[in-house]
């Protein structure tokens, strides 16, 4: 299991590096953080050695010094572990079918948990003279938002994929609807991110459609498509995020990615919780009806 977790972590890192805005420095989406947290949630704390091994394989070739690499690897391991412990303490359920679970993933898993890796990693780079002290906060903000987006985008996708099952008897219309949703989301994003006009708002109806009709199994893939295509366009220097300074591009890009991801994730959780509550109410009503039927004496047949 350790080698498998390490291999998946390393593969996620290589995919993340394909969308760097500045070579080796700025990655708006860091998938390994989401992979690490998902492994801890699904496999338990015993998966942490695989996370450490994967982080070591990623950082060893690019680290400034052996001690700095070890400190960064420690941060990459402690951050998802801290997020996991915070979520466990909050009663987090991996089904993500409650609004409180979605909010816990946002605030505890992404925003709070990833403070450890960004703070420790940036501080180590400054102490190792690999980064000037004046660049601490810009580097820290990029590191933190990239790790947080990895949790918000990748962790729900993996949690949904583990529980995804293709139900028997699914109508062809339902399959066609799912395909149209994914293709439509990708098509709108390709147009919006390569146009000088502000057309990014057109993707929100597709995210709402995904959450309403398919909940997390639909919302998570659509969020990934939107985020990846937005980052790819920015890396290529085209679309609404181009033509600005690096800081301005990062701020606007991450604001857009966060808005779309939160819209899909939170709405999917709200819909799932509503449907679960409705099913519980229906079940209680059926049980009450059966109880009343048992307690009500049969009426005698009228005499002739």
pLDDT at 297: 66
Q: Is 129 helix (H, G, I), strand (E, B) or coil?
A: coil
Quick check: pTM over 0.75? yes
Q: Cα 63 to chain center, whole Å?
A: 27
Helix (H) or strand (E) holding 303: none
Q: Any idea how long the chain is?
A: 304
One digit per residue, pLDDT tens: the chain, 304 residues?
889 999 999 999 998 888 776 655 568 899 999 999 999 999 999 999 999 999 999 988 887 788 889 999 999 999 999 999 999 999 999 999 999 999 999 999 999 999 999 999 899 988 888 888 888 888 888 899 999 999 999 999 999 988 766 556 678 888 899 999 999 999 999 999 988 778 899 999 999 999 999 999 999 999 999 999 999 888 888 888 877 777 788 888 999 999 999 999 999 999 999 998 898 898 888 888 888 888 776 555 555 4
Task: Specify the pLDDT at position 22.
Answer: 60
Q: What is the DSSP string of 12-74?
A: HHHHHHTT-SBTTTB-S--HHHHHHHHHHHHH-GGGHHHHHHHHHHHHTTT-SSHHHHHHHHH
CA distance 129 to 41: 36
């Amino acid at each position: 299991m350790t080698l498998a977790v390490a291999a998946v972590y390393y593969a996620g890192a290589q995919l993340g590096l394909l969308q760097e805005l500045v070579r080796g420095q700025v990655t708006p989406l860091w998938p390994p953080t989401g992979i690490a947290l998902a492994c801890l949630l699904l496999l338990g704390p015993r998966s942490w050695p695989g996370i450490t091994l994967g982080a070591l394989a990623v950082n060893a070739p690019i680290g400034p010094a052996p001690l700095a690499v070890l400190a960064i690897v420690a941060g990459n391991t402690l951050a998802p572990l801290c997020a996991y412990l915070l979520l466990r303490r909050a009663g987090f359920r991996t089904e993500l079918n409650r609004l409180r679970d979605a909010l816990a993933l946002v605030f505890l898993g992404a925003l709070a948990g990833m403070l450890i890796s960004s703070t420790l990693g940036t501080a180590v780079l400054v102490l190792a003279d690999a980064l000037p002290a004046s660049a601490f906060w810009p580097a820290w903000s990029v590191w933190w938002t990239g790790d947080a987006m990895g949790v918000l985008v990748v962790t729900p996708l993996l949690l949904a994929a583990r529980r995804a099952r293709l139900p028997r008897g699914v109508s062809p219309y339902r399959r066609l609807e799912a395909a149209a949703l994914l293709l439509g989301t990708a098509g709108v994003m390709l147009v919006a991110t390569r146009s000088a006009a502000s057309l990014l708002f057109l993707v929100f109806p597709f995210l709402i459609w995904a959450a309403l009709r398919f909940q997390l199994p639909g919302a998570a893939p659509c969020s990934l498509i939107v985020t990846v295509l937005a980052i790819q366009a920015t890396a290529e220097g085209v679309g609404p995020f181009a033509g600005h300074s690096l800081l301005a591009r990062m701020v606007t890009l991450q604001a857009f990615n966060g808005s779309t991801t939160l819209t899909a994730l939170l709405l999917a959780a709200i819909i799932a919780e509503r449907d679960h509550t409705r099913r519980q109410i229906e079940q209680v009503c059926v049980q009450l009806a059966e109880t009343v039927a048992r307690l009500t004496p049969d009426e005698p047949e009228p005499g002739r």
